[in-house]
Structure 1
Protein backbone atom coordinates (compact mmCIF):
# COMPACT_ATOMS: atom_id res chain seq x y z
CA UNK A 1 0.00 0.00 0.00
CA UNK A 2 1.33 3.39 -0.97
CA UNK A 3 1.83 5.82 1.88
CA UNK A 4 0.27 9.25 1.38
CA UNK A 5 0.54 12.49 3.32
CA UNK A 6 -1.60 15.59 2.83
CA UNK A 7 0.57 18.64 2.34
CA UNK A 8 -2.69 20.56 2.40
CA UNK A 9 -6.28 19.32 2.36
CA UNK A 10 -8.90 21.94 1.78
CA UNK A 11 -12.26 21.90 3.57
CA UNK A 12 -14.77 24.45 4.83
CA UNK A 13 -12.74 25.10 8.02
CA UNK A 14 -9.22 24.96 6.54
CA UNK A 15 -6.89 27.71 7.75
CA UNK A 16 -5.55 29.36 4.60
CA UNK A 17 -3.83 32.29 6.33
CA UNK A 18 -0.41 30.81 5.46
CA UNK A 19 -1.18 30.96 1.73
CA UNK A 20 0.36 34.10 0.19
CA UNK A 21 -0.02 35.60 -3.27
CA UNK A 22 3.10 36.88 -5.04
CA UNK A 23 2.45 38.65 -8.34
CA UNK A 24 4.58 40.47 -10.88
CA UNK A 25 4.00 43.74 -9.00
CA UNK A 26 7.20 42.82 -7.14
CA UNK A 27 8.92 43.67 -10.45
CA UNK A 28 6.69 46.56 -11.52
CA UNK A 29 3.93 44.57 -13.25
CA UNK A 30 0.16 44.95 -12.84
CA UNK A 31 -1.11 41.37 -12.38
CA UNK A 32 -3.46 40.71 -9.48
CA UNK A 33 -4.70 37.60 -7.73
CA UNK A 34 -6.41 36.41 -4.59
CA UNK A 35 -6.74 33.14 -2.71
CA UNK A 36 -9.86 32.11 -0.83
CA UNK A 37 -12.03 29.20 0.27
CA UNK A 38 -15.29 28.75 -1.59
CA UNK A 39 -18.61 27.57 -0.11
CA UNK A 40 -17.64 23.94 -0.83
CA UNK A 41 -14.35 24.24 1.07
CA UNK A 42 -12.04 24.25 -1.95
CA UNK A 43 -9.10 26.60 -2.32
CA UNK A 44 -9.76 29.07 -5.11
CA UNK A 45 -6.88 30.89 -6.74
CA UNK A 46 -8.01 33.46 -9.29
CA UNK A 47 -7.06 36.76 -10.80
CA UNK A 48 -5.81 38.54 -13.87
CA UNK A 49 -2.40 38.31 -15.49
CA UNK A 50 -1.30 41.57 -17.10
CA UNK A 51 1.60 42.07 -19.52
CA UNK A 52 1.81 45.79 -18.75
CA UNK A 53 5.13 47.12 -17.38
CA UNK A 54 6.91 43.86 -18.33
CA UNK A 55 4.59 41.85 -16.11
CA UNK A 56 3.17 38.45 -16.84
CA UNK A 57 2.81 36.22 -13.81
CA UNK A 58 0.74 35.56 -10.73
CA UNK A 59 1.41 32.98 -8.02
CA UNK A 60 0.25 31.69 -4.67
CA UNK A 61 2.49 29.84 -2.22
CA UNK A 62 2.18 27.89 0.98
CA UNK A 63 5.13 27.65 3.37
CA UNK A 64 5.26 25.09 6.17
CA UNK A 65 7.66 23.30 8.51
CA UNK A 66 9.99 20.97 6.65
CA UNK A 67 8.25 17.82 5.44
CA UNK A 68 10.54 14.79 5.13
CA UNK A 69 10.30 13.46 1.57
CA UNK A 70 12.65 10.45 1.81
CA UNK A 71 9.81 7.91 1.66
CA UNK A 72 7.85 9.68 -1.08
CA UNK A 73 8.31 9.98 -4.85
CA UNK A 74 5.20 11.73 -6.22
CA UNK A 75 2.96 14.74 -5.78
CA UNK A 76 -0.76 14.30 -6.41
CA UNK A 77 -3.08 17.26 -6.94
CA UNK A 78 -6.86 17.22 -7.07
CA UNK A 79 -7.73 20.30 -9.10
CA UNK A 80 -10.33 21.91 -11.34
CA UNK A 81 -9.25 24.65 -13.67
CA UNK A 82 -10.13 26.77 -16.62
CA UNK A 83 -8.37 25.04 -19.49
CA UNK A 84 -5.15 26.98 -18.91
CA UNK A 85 -1.58 25.84 -18.23
CA UNK A 86 -0.08 26.28 -14.75
CA UNK A 87 3.17 25.57 -12.97
CA UNK A 88 3.38 23.59 -9.75
CA UNK A 89 6.46 24.58 -7.76
CA UNK A 90 8.25 23.18 -4.72
CA UNK A 91 11.18 24.34 -2.64
CA UNK A 92 13.28 22.22 -0.32
CA UNK A 93 14.09 25.39 1.64
CA UNK A 94 11.66 28.29 1.56
CA UNK A 95 14.60 30.74 1.61
CA UNK A 96 16.01 29.40 -1.69
CA UNK A 97 15.70 31.70 -4.67
CA UNK A 98 15.15 28.81 -7.08
CA UNK A 99 12.23 26.40 -7.18
CA UNK A 100 11.67 22.99 -8.73
CA UNK A 101 8.83 23.11 -11.23
CA UNK A 102 6.57 21.11 -13.45
CA UNK A 103 3.71 22.14 -15.72
CA UNK A 104 0.16 20.89 -15.93
CA UNK A 105 -2.89 21.68 -18.02
CA UNK A 106 -6.32 22.03 -16.51
CA UNK A 107 -9.85 21.23 -17.57
CA UNK A 108 -13.17 22.46 -16.25
CA UNK A 109 -13.81 19.17 -14.43
CA UNK A 110 -12.08 17.75 -11.36
CA UNK A 111 -8.83 16.01 -12.28
CA UNK A 112 -6.13 14.12 -10.43
CA UNK A 113 -2.68 15.21 -11.64
CA UNK A 114 0.46 13.37 -10.52
CA UNK A 115 4.12 14.26 -10.95
CA UNK A 116 7.30 12.43 -10.07
CA UNK A 117 9.40 14.54 -7.71
CA UNK A 118 12.57 13.51 -9.56
CA UNK A 119 11.21 15.05 -12.78
CA UNK A 120 10.82 18.52 -11.26
CA UNK A 121 13.41 20.89 -12.78
CA UNK A 122 15.26 23.67 -10.94
CA UNK A 123 14.45 27.14 -12.27
CA UNK A 124 14.97 30.77 -11.32
CA UNK A 125 13.04 33.63 -12.96
CA UNK A 126 11.81 31.34 -15.72
CA UNK A 127 15.23 29.94 -16.62
CA UNK A 128 16.26 26.32 -16.11
CA UNK A 129 19.34 26.07 -13.89
CA UNK A 130 22.33 23.80 -14.37
CA UNK A 131 21.50 21.80 -11.24
CA UNK A 132 20.11 18.29 -10.76
CA UNK A 133 16.36 17.76 -10.71
CA UNK A 134 14.70 17.50 -7.30
CA UNK A 135 16.51 14.98 -5.11
CA UNK A 136 16.23 16.72 -1.76
CA UNK A 137 15.20 15.25 1.56
CA UNK A 138 12.38 17.66 2.37
CA UNK A 139 9.92 20.27 1.14
CA UNK A 140 9.14 23.59 2.86
CA UNK A 141 7.03 25.30 0.20
CA UNK A 142 4.56 24.53 -2.56
CA UNK A 143 3.21 27.05 -5.05
CA UNK A 144 1.04 27.48 -8.13
CA UNK A 145 2.04 29.98 -10.82
CA UNK A 146 0.47 31.11 -14.07
CA UNK A 147 2.64 32.78 -16.73
CA UNK A 148 1.42 31.98 -20.23
CA UNK A 149 2.85 35.10 -21.91
CA UNK A 150 -0.58 36.61 -22.42
CA UNK A 151 -3.02 38.80 -20.55
CA UNK A 152 -5.75 36.57 -19.17
CA UNK A 153 -8.19 35.93 -16.36
CA UNK A 154 -7.60 32.65 -14.54
CA UNK A 155 -9.27 30.48 -11.93
CA UNK A 156 -7.90 27.32 -10.32
CA UNK A 157 -9.75 25.30 -7.67
CA UNK A 158 -7.72 23.03 -5.39
CA UNK A 159 -9.13 20.19 -3.28
CA UNK A 160 -5.88 18.62 -2.05
CA UNK A 161 -2.12 18.47 -2.38
CA UNK A 162 -0.72 15.05 -1.46
CA UNK A 163 2.77 13.59 -1.38
CA UNK A 164 2.95 9.85 -1.94
Structure 2
Protein backbone atom coordinates (compact mmCIF):
# COMPACT_ATOMS: atom_id res chain seq x y z
CA UNK A 1 0.00 0.00 0.00
CA UNK A 2 1.23 3.48 -0.87
CA UNK A 3 1.52 5.62 2.30
CA UNK A 4 -1.55 7.78 2.89
CA UNK A 5 -1.08 11.11 4.65
CA UNK A 6 -4.05 11.42 6.99
CA UNK A 7 -3.14 14.86 8.39
CA UNK A 8 -0.14 17.18 8.22
CA UNK A 9 0.09 20.20 10.47
CA UNK A 10 1.45 23.40 8.96
CA UNK A 11 0.90 27.16 9.28
CA UNK A 12 -2.26 26.98 7.17
CA UNK A 13 -3.73 23.83 8.74
CA UNK A 14 -7.47 23.65 9.23
CA UNK A 15 -8.36 22.43 12.72
CA UNK A 16 -12.12 22.46 12.12
CA UNK A 17 -12.31 18.63 12.16
CA UNK A 18 -10.34 18.42 15.43
CA UNK A 19 -12.23 18.71 18.72
CA UNK A 20 -11.34 18.59 22.38
CA UNK A 21 -13.14 16.13 24.67
CA UNK A 22 -12.12 16.33 28.33
CA UNK A 23 -13.43 14.63 31.45
CA UNK A 24 -15.76 17.61 31.89
CA UNK A 25 -18.27 15.49 29.94
CA UNK A 26 -18.45 13.43 33.17
CA UNK A 27 -18.07 16.26 35.70
CA UNK A 28 -14.27 16.45 35.78
CA UNK A 29 -12.26 19.66 35.59
CA UNK A 30 -9.34 18.72 33.31
CA UNK A 31 -8.70 21.20 30.50
CA UNK A 32 -6.87 21.15 27.19
CA UNK A 33 -6.69 22.74 23.76
CA UNK A 34 -5.22 22.20 20.31
CA UNK A 35 -3.70 24.94 18.18
CA UNK A 36 -1.21 25.30 15.35
CA UNK A 37 1.87 26.61 17.15
CA UNK A 38 4.33 29.19 15.80
CA UNK A 39 6.26 26.39 14.05
CA UNK A 40 3.09 25.26 12.28
CA UNK A 41 2.82 22.04 14.28
CA UNK A 42 -0.24 20.80 16.13
CA UNK A 43 0.05 21.57 19.84
CA UNK A 44 -2.20 19.57 22.16
CA UNK A 45 -1.65 20.55 25.77
CA UNK A 46 -3.36 21.09 29.07
CA UNK A 47 -3.84 19.84 32.60
CA UNK A 48 -5.31 16.55 33.76
CA UNK A 49 -7.06 16.67 37.15
CA UNK A 50 -8.42 13.75 39.14
CA UNK A 51 -10.89 16.01 40.98
CA UNK A 52 -14.61 15.26 40.59
CA UNK A 53 -13.81 11.75 39.29
CA UNK A 54 -11.95 13.21 36.33
CA UNK A 55 -8.68 12.14 34.80
CA UNK A 56 -8.41 12.54 31.03
CA UNK A 57 -7.99 14.95 28.13
CA UNK A 58 -8.42 14.00 24.48
CA UNK A 59 -8.33 15.53 21.03
CA UNK A 60 -10.32 13.81 18.28
CA UNK A 61 -10.00 14.08 14.51
CA UNK A 62 -13.00 12.92 12.46
CA UNK A 63 -13.23 12.51 8.70
CA UNK A 64 -15.05 10.66 5.94
CA UNK A 65 -14.80 6.90 6.26
CA UNK A 66 -11.62 5.24 4.97
CA UNK A 67 -10.80 1.59 4.37
CA UNK A 68 -7.37 0.45 5.56
CA UNK A 69 -7.58 -3.15 4.35
CA UNK A 70 -4.04 -3.22 2.93
CA UNK A 71 -2.48 -1.00 5.58
CA UNK A 72 -0.12 -2.34 8.24
CA UNK A 73 0.28 0.57 10.64
CA UNK A 74 -0.10 4.22 11.48
CA UNK A 75 3.00 6.40 11.55
CA UNK A 76 2.85 9.48 13.76
CA UNK A 77 5.61 12.10 13.82
CA UNK A 78 5.53 13.86 17.19
CA UNK A 79 7.37 15.27 20.16
CA UNK A 80 6.11 14.81 23.67
CA UNK A 81 7.08 15.57 27.24
CA UNK A 82 7.88 12.11 28.63
CA UNK A 83 4.24 11.27 29.41
CA UNK A 84 2.37 8.20 28.22
CA UNK A 85 -0.40 8.93 25.72
CA UNK A 86 -2.87 6.76 23.87
CA UNK A 87 -3.47 6.66 20.14
CA UNK A 88 -7.08 5.58 19.53
CA UNK A 89 -9.11 4.79 16.44
CA UNK A 90 -12.78 4.15 15.76
CA UNK A 91 -14.44 2.31 12.90
CA UNK A 92 -17.40 4.69 13.17
CA UNK A 93 -17.77 7.78 15.31
CA UNK A 94 -21.10 6.38 16.55
CA UNK A 95 -19.38 3.43 18.26
CA UNK A 96 -18.91 3.71 22.02
CA UNK A 97 -15.61 1.80 22.15
CA UNK A 98 -12.24 2.66 20.63
CA UNK A 99 -9.20 0.63 19.67
CA UNK A 100 -6.24 1.72 21.78
CA UNK A 101 -2.44 1.75 21.57
CA UNK A 102 -0.42 3.33 24.41
CA UNK A 103 2.95 4.95 23.72
CA UNK A 104 5.58 6.77 25.73
CA UNK A 105 6.94 10.07 24.50
CA UNK A 106 10.30 11.76 24.75
CA UNK A 107 11.19 15.42 24.47
CA UNK A 108 12.80 14.76 21.08
CA UNK A 109 11.08 14.33 17.73
CA UNK A 110 10.16 10.70 17.22
CA UNK A 111 8.12 8.59 14.85
CA UNK A 112 5.63 6.35 16.63
CA UNK A 113 4.69 3.22 14.70
CA UNK A 114 1.24 1.92 15.64
CA UNK A 115 0.67 -1.56 14.16
CA UNK A 116 -2.98 -1.99 13.22
CA UNK A 117 -2.93 -5.48 14.73
CA UNK A 118 -1.96 -4.02 18.15
CA UNK A 119 -4.95 -1.67 18.44
CA UNK A 120 -7.05 -3.33 21.16
CA UNK A 121 -10.70 -2.57 22.00
CA UNK A 122 -11.49 -0.58 25.16
CA UNK A 123 -14.27 1.50 26.66
CA UNK A 124 -13.70 4.04 29.45
CA UNK A 125 -10.34 2.51 30.30
CA UNK A 126 -11.60 -1.07 30.43
CA UNK A 127 -10.37 -3.71 27.99
CA UNK A 128 -13.14 -5.39 26.04
CA UNK A 129 -13.44 -9.01 24.97
CA UNK A 130 -13.70 -8.14 21.27
CA UNK A 131 -11.39 -8.79 18.32
CA UNK A 132 -8.51 -6.39 17.69
CA UNK A 133 -8.94 -3.61 15.13
CA UNK A 134 -9.13 -4.99 11.58
CA UNK A 135 -8.67 -1.79 9.57
CA UNK A 136 -11.76 -2.31 7.42
CA UNK A 137 -13.14 1.09 8.33
CA UNK A 138 -11.79 4.27 9.96
CA UNK A 139 -13.65 7.48 10.81
CA UNK A 140 -11.84 8.88 13.83
CA UNK A 141 -8.45 9.06 15.50
CA UNK A 142 -7.82 10.36 19.00
CA UNK A 143 -4.86 11.30 21.16
CA UNK A 144 -5.71 10.83 24.84
CA UNK A 145 -3.86 11.27 28.11
CA UNK A 146 -5.24 9.66 31.26
CA UNK A 147 -2.54 8.22 33.49
CA UNK A 148 -4.55 8.20 36.74
CA UNK A 149 -2.64 11.19 38.12
CA UNK A 150 -2.73 14.98 38.17
CA UNK A 151 -0.37 16.21 35.47
CA UNK A 152 0.29 18.83 32.85
CA UNK A 153 1.10 17.68 29.35
CA UNK A 154 2.26 18.81 25.94
CA UNK A 155 2.15 16.83 22.71
CA UNK A 156 3.40 18.39 19.47
CA UNK A 157 2.21 16.59 16.33
CA UNK A 158 3.67 17.03 12.86
CA UNK A 159 1.90 14.36 10.81
CA UNK A 160 -0.21 11.21 10.87
CA UNK A 161 0.14 8.68 8.04
CA UNK A 162 -1.20 5.25 7.25
CA UNK A 163 1.38 2.81 5.85
What TM-score, normalized to structure 2?
A: 0.98
Please report the RMSD computed on the Cα atoms of aligned residues, expressed in angstroms: 0.8
Maintained 8 Å contact 2:71/2:135: no
Matched, 1:147 2:146: yes
Alpha-carbon distance, 1:67 to partner: 1.2
Unmatched tracts of structure 2, length 5 or more: none
What TM-score, normalized to structure 1?
A: 0.97
Unmatched tracts of structure 1, length 5 or more: none
Q: Match for residue 113 of structure 2?
A: 114
- Hey, which bits of structure 1, 4+ residues long, moved more than 3 A? none
Aligned equivalents of 2:146 and 2:114: distance in 1?
A: 19
1:1-164 correspondence to structure 2 within 5 Å = 3-164=2-163
Aligned equivalents of 1:64 and 1:17: distance in 2?
A: 11
Aligned equivalents of 1:156 and 1:37: distance in 2?
A: 12
Partner deviation per Cα, 1:38-65 (whole Å, 9 max, x = no partner): 1111000000000100100000000000
Alpha-carbon distance, 1:115 to partner: 1.3
Aligned equivalents of 2:145 and 2:55: distance in 1?
A: 8
Q: Report the number of matched residues.
A: 163
In structure 2, the residue corresponding to 1:11 is in which secondary structure?
coil
Partner deviation per Cα, 1:118-138 (whole Å, 9 max, x = no partner): 110000010011100001412
Alpha-carbon distance, 1:3 to partner: 1.5
